[in-house]
Amino acid sequence: MIRKQEALDYHSQGRRGKIEVISSKPCQTQRDLSLAYTPGVAEPCREIEANPDDAYLYTAKGNLVAVISNGTAVLGLGDIGALAGKPVMEGKGVLFKRFADIDVYDIELNSHNPDEIIRAVQMLEPTFGGINLEDIKAPECFYIEETLKKTMNIPVFHDDQHGTAIISGAALVNALEIVGKNIDNVKVVFSGAGAAGIACAKLYESLGVKRQNMILVDTKGVVYKGRKEGMNPYKEYFAVDTDARMLADAMKGADVFCGVSAKGIVSKEMVKSMADDPIVLAMANPDPEITYEDATSVRSDIIMATGRSDYPNQVNNVLGFPFIFRGALDVRAKMINEEMKIAASHALATLAKEDVPDSVVRAYGGERITFGRNYIIPKPFDPRVLLWEATAVAKAAMETGVARNPIKDFEAYRDSLEARLGKSREVMRFFIREAQHAPKRIVFPEGEEEKILRAAQVIVDENIAKPILLGSRTFIKQRIADLGLDLNGVEIINPGKAPRFDEYVTAYYALRQRKGLTRFDAERHMKTHNIYGMMMVELDDADGLLSGLTQHYPDTVRPALQIIGKREGVRKIAGLYMLVFKNQTIFIADATVNIEPSAEDLAEIALLAAEKVRQFDIEPRVAMLSFSNFGGTQHPLTERVRHAVQLVRRSEPDLMVDGEMMADTAVVPGIVTELYPFSTLKGSANILICPDLTSANIAYKLLTHLGGAVAIGPVLLGIRKPVYLLTPGCDVSDIVNMTAMTVFECQQYGDRRPEQSKEILGRFKSSFQGIEI
């Protein structure tokens, strides 16, 4: 429960309010100033004057939305005025930015005159790419939106109307599917005939509900044909011939209740009177028309949704407006039409049937979430909503002819949406895309684990790899059924009962017989999933292996070294992490394998890391880290790093490498420039070689949890065939991403021609546009 003082403190502490303007371009020097303002700014002005569409190229217009209100219908507070409504409009801006990376200015208009509001908004068209109307009372809101849509050439959207309609529409579609009712036969009762109620009724009609099967109820009772009191053209459209006069009458035999009205107006008796498998969408805020506890106490067959996060099936408008505007802005739509709204509803309904990411499960208490009566619409913090809904809206805009800048490549568009969720997601999209071009056989020794099975479903659905699951066939099949997955055709191998078990034992025994292994030991070890999986890779029955979800790194690394072994010429393998920040990406080693590396080990780690980074078509800049800069402290630990630098230079004279140096010297170019101009390191380092595993592990975890980096890895360096490690307890999405990286590594070993590799790596490098590497 949010308390008054907590809410006031949230808005008042630190910088007042909830929003600020941040420059997207540097303004640190006189030259920057001349480009940002006069005289340089004159050039884009001239271009826009000559071609107005260039405003989308040279200004923020294409990603800028105005949130406009006159404060006449603010949440449950009513007409509190434009100024008092400002915190809500700022909050709307926060949600636009957080969920869809859309910039917002909130504009509060101190007027109750609809025509004044219309004229004010019309004059803002040159500034904004879209208009979000907010908290304007009915029926004026209908007139204002309709007029603006007719007279403006950018999207205008009244969220209070359409947001609730779109989200609840998705809930309706899925709830009807669960109970097995046809949308064209159901009877729907609407409580509330204001902005949201009328919009819900209109959208439900578009989704397939027959108008004659709808009954609207407002504060005067049922909206019936011939009623005079409290009517307007919008209510008149839905007036029906009925003897029902009050809400209780209308609810009898109803299949669906859609409430956007007031707390507590629905009784238990009303819910009892509804048809079998009733669907109750009680969306009054902050308290619903009937509580979840009361409704479920009288109907065990009910499907219920509310506006609250502490009950199942929260109908939250944040599932709509950010993503609808994202899709509309990205195709420069002239309007948001009915088809775009329907596309948004169907996208949400379809997404709810997909496997729910672990990050979302954790955010909502950690219990498994699956499609059903208590989960009919996605959760607000599901990051996939952006990808599904914005894409659906953009496609609908194109199909209905309102898109002025159609998307030519939707795969690339989805990649751009991933980038808005974070640079690391964009980087991983590259690996997923490339894996899809030539999927490889990846063996999962932990094939009985739920997360592995859920990841396998995504891997199969997206054609990333051909998973091979190790474990008990009976157990895995049962778990697949329990999880509601469809993994027919996926290979399952029980090592102890495998047809090639004896052949693998013989091969393994031959490899290890002079390492103290007996034939009996070989048979016993071969029933161990990691060892069997490594033999599959060694004997080319699988292309790569991914393990470590339930084990420590040595449990995977040790058999990899014993069976697959190191590449020729490699003394020690190592682990490399890619750390992706918003504006910078660095690689760090070794945080995985070598606890106290010698100077020779550090040199080899640096060389292997540089080699791997070059595979991504990135020129390595290597810093060998210590607690001293260039001989500033004489100590065996610093001497070891200095010696490692010498060994690296001796092995690869052209590699940009220097040390020993402190971490800040490595990543802040000005320190080297001002204090150590002799250094061969030019610019900030993109590969950090830590002096031991302790420092590397601490560094990457601190950078991840406090520095805002996303860690991708670890990648094993120096192993002869692709073996990748999972972090114990990682998410399904992490398993999918690491599978894509494993497939990519397999492809480098296999069938790619040099010119193909060059083209592919060029695409990888383009994933880092806008950030320093």
Q: pTM of the full predicted structure?
A: 0.79
What pLDDT score does 773 carry? 47
- H-helix or E-strand containing 493? strand 491-493
What confidence category does residue 376 fall into, taking pLDDT thresholds of 50, 70 and 90? very high
3-state class of 585 per DSSP? strand
> How would residue 710 be classed by pLDDT, with cut points 50, 70 and 90?
confident
Beta strands in 32-108 (DSSP E): 64-69, 103-108
Any idea of the CA torsion for 471, 473, 479, 480, to the nearest 10 degrees? 110
The side-by-side arrangement of strands in the sheet containing 466-470 is 491-493, 466-470, 441-444, 544-547, 723-725
Residue 433: pLDDT over 60: yes
Which helix H or strand E contains 305, and what residues bound it?
A: strand 303-306
Q: H/E/C letters for each residue in 521-550?
A: HHHHHHCCHHHHHHHHHHCCCCCEEEECCC
User: What pLDDT, on a 0 to 100 scale, did the predictor assign at position 1?
Assistant: 62
Does 37 qualify as catalytic in the annotation? yes
Is a pLDDT exceeding 80 seen at residue 757? no
Confirm if 143 and 119 have CB atoms less than 8 A apart. no
58, 61, 92, 682: the catalytic one is 92
Q: How confident is the model at residue 756 (pLDDT cuts 50, 70, 90)?
A: very low
What is the rounded distance in angstroms from the CA atom of residue 303 to the CA atom of residue 162? 22
The residue-averaged pLDDT of 138-146 equals 93
Q: For residue 574, what pLDDT is reported? A: 94
pLDDT(159) > 60: yes
* pLDDT above 70 for 556: yes
Q: Cα–Cα distance between 418 and 23 in angstroms, integer?
A: 22
**Side-chain half-sphere of 580: how many Cα atoms within 13 Å?**
17
Number of Cβ within a 10 Å radius of residue 373: 17
Rounded CA-CA distance 240/216 in Å is 9
pLDDT above 80 for 271 = yes
Is 18 among the residues known to form the active site?
no
Q: Is the confidence at residue 759, as pLDDT, over 80?
A: no
Distance CA 301, CA 187 (A): 17
Q: b vs e for 650-676, b when ≥16 Cβ sit within 10 Å of the residue's Cβ?
A: eebeebbbbbbbbbebbbeeebbeeee
Query: Taking residues 168-197, what's their average pLDDT?
Result: 95
3-state secondary structure of 78: strand
Q: Region 214-241: what's the mean pLDDT? A: 94
First to last CA, the chain: 44
Cα separation, 603 vs 597, in Å, equals 9
Query: pLDDT higher for 487 or 769?
Result: 487
Q: What is the mean pLDDT of residues 443-470?
A: 95
Share of the chain above pLDDT 70, in %: 97
pLDDT in the model for residue 750: 59
Adjacent-strand bridge partners of 623: 658, 688
**Poorest-confidence range of 27-36, 62-71, 391-400?**
27-36
The whole-number pLDDT of residue 767 equals 47
Which of 10, 25, 37, 721 is the catalytic position?
37
At residue 768, the pLDDT reads 46
Residue pLDDT, tens place only, 715-726: 899 999 999 999
Residue 410 is predicted with a pLDDT of 93
The per-residue pLDDT for 310 is 84
**Phi and psi at residue 442, in whole multiples of 5°?**
-115, 125
CB atoms under 10 Å from CB of 311, counted, come to 18
Instruction: Give the pLDDT of residue 755.
Output: 46
Indicate the angle between helix axes 114-122 and 140-151, nearest 10 degrees.
30
Asked if pLDDT for residue 751 goes beyond 70, the answer is no
Hey, what amino acid is at 233? P
pLDDT reported for residue 764:
44
C-alpha triplet 65, 89, 216: angle, nearest 5°: 95
